[in-house]
Structure 1
Amino acid sequence: MRPKTLLKTGLAVTATAVTGSVTGRPDPTWYRRLRKPSWNPPPQTFGLVWTPLYGMIAYGSARALEAAPPARRRALARTLGVNLALNAAWPPLFWRLRSPRAALAELVALNLSNAALVRQAWRADRAAGLILAPYAAWTVFATALNGAILRRNPGQTAKRSKLAQLLTAGRLRAGPRR
């Protein structure tokens, strides 16, 4: 594998991790108040799991991109890009907006993207597909956990924006004045 390919996928994955971390800073008080299933892992588990998974995404994707025939390489790169964008989208939906419902819908899309990524990687290089499989498995687990949290907390609504709060409080008018 060329170091340049691994560097590119590594930078893309790092950007994803940083974006998710910055845009979805956890609110431990809100999360502690949520009712969670008995199989919810301790908070430190997530960092311990995601760190090697991000490395596996970078390495497995680089292997697949190197092995893919030129005609499929661009499609694989697009699939990876969409996948990483979906990966970065979950934290702000769940943590910042406090919307388990929106986060669950996003995870469904991420799982579909993972299936496409693993399938394309497998076609290019079976080892790359196997390297990406734990990532797909973990997001299936995360989807089940997110769904269980949503079911146990049906009253959880998204945190409303300041604009939405002002509109509903009648302090701002929507639409033209008469």
Structure 2
Amino acid sequence: MIQSWMVIGGVAILVALAANIMTPSDRQWFRRLRRPRWLTFEAAIPLIWITIFICGAWSAYIVWETAPDTNKTWLLMGLYLLLEVVTIAYTPVMFRLRSLQVGTLLGGTGLTICIILAIVVLTVSGWATLLLVPYLLWSPIGTYTTWQMIQLNPQDA
């Protein structure tokens, strides 16, 4: 029998793979952009996001196991999926459109979805909500960084 954590993890991995839909010229565009001087931790960002996605999947697992196969739980799973899709879309969509404004908009949208999700999940499980805190803390930093890059690269806004 397939366990719920396998399905949740599998879906998370499949969605995350979509972030790799970029061309070399997309990557080159992003590499040439100026960054804020205080951005000294850029190499750690992939590890930060991996941790956030693991916490998000774990949160979804707790919600599912708390009330499996109910309408509310299915709606919450849809909200978790929407959050991941918006978050994953940040890189390929921003790169393809070569627009830091689009990246800022997607970052802010992800934060808004996560706030809504955390509020609703709080009625189901405190632990599941606590696992969303890394996203709630990091997303504003990433969004602010992208916004700062607009100021440094106005031609790529």
User: Is the structural similarity TM-score above 0.5?
Assistant: yes
Please state which band the TM-score falls in when normalised by the shorter chain: 0.7 to 0.9
The SS at the match of 1:40 is: coil
Aligned residue pairs total: 155
- Residue 137 in 1 paired to residue 137 in 2? yes
CA distance in 1, matches of 2:137, 2:93: 21
Max radius of gyration: which structure?
1
State the Cα RMSD in Å: 2.2
Give the SS at the match of 1:104.
helix
User: When the two structures are superposed, what TM-score results if normalisation uses the length of structure 2?
Assistant: 0.86
Structure 1 residue 30: Cα displacement: 3.0
Say whether residues 1:83 and 2:83 are aligned partners: yes
Task: Tell me how far 1:24 sits from its aligned partner.
Answer: 3.9
Higher relative contact order (CA 8 A, sep 6+): 2
Q: What is the TM-score normalised by the length of structure 1?
A: 0.77
The amino acid of 1:48's aligned partner reads L
Amino acid at match of 1:49: I
Q: What whole-Å deviation, never above 9, does each CA across 1:51-101 have from its counterpart, x for those lacking one?
A: 222211111111012224734212211211211211121111222322101
Say if 1:65 and 1:124, in contact at 8 Å, map to a contact too.
Answer: no
Distance 2:123 2:149 in 1: 35
- C-alpha offsets along residues 88-125 of structure 1, whole Å, 9 cap, x if unaligned? 21111222322101111111211111112222222211
Matched with 2:56 is 57
Distance 1:41 1:119, change over 3 A: farther
CA distance in 2, matches of 1:25, 1:66: 39
Equivalent residue for 2:30? 31
Q: 2: distance between equivalents of 1:145 and 1:95?
A: 15
- Unaligned regions of 5+ residues in structure 1, if any? 158-178
Aligned 8 A contact 2:56 2:131 in 1: yes
Shift of 1:156: 0.9
The CA distance in 2 between the partners of 1:117 and 1:4, in whole Å, is 23
Instruction: Report the residue type matching 2:146 in the other structure.
Output: N
Question: Which residue does 2:98 correspond to in 1?
Answer: 98
Counterpart position of 2:16: 17
Q: Which amino acid aligns with 1:51?
A: I
- Distance change >3 Å, CA 32–CA 84, structure 1 → 2: closer
Q: Distance in 1 between matches of 2:85 and 2:59?
A: 17
Q: Kindly provide the CA deviation profile for residues 8-37 of structure 1, in whole angstroms up to 9, marking residues without a partner as x.
A: 1111211122111x1246755433432221
Where does the alignment leave 5 or more consecutive residues of structure 2 unmatched? none
* 1:166 paired residue number: none
Percent identity of equivalent pairs = 22
Are the equivalent residues in 1 in contact too, given 2:15–2:88 (CA < 8 A)?
Answer: yes
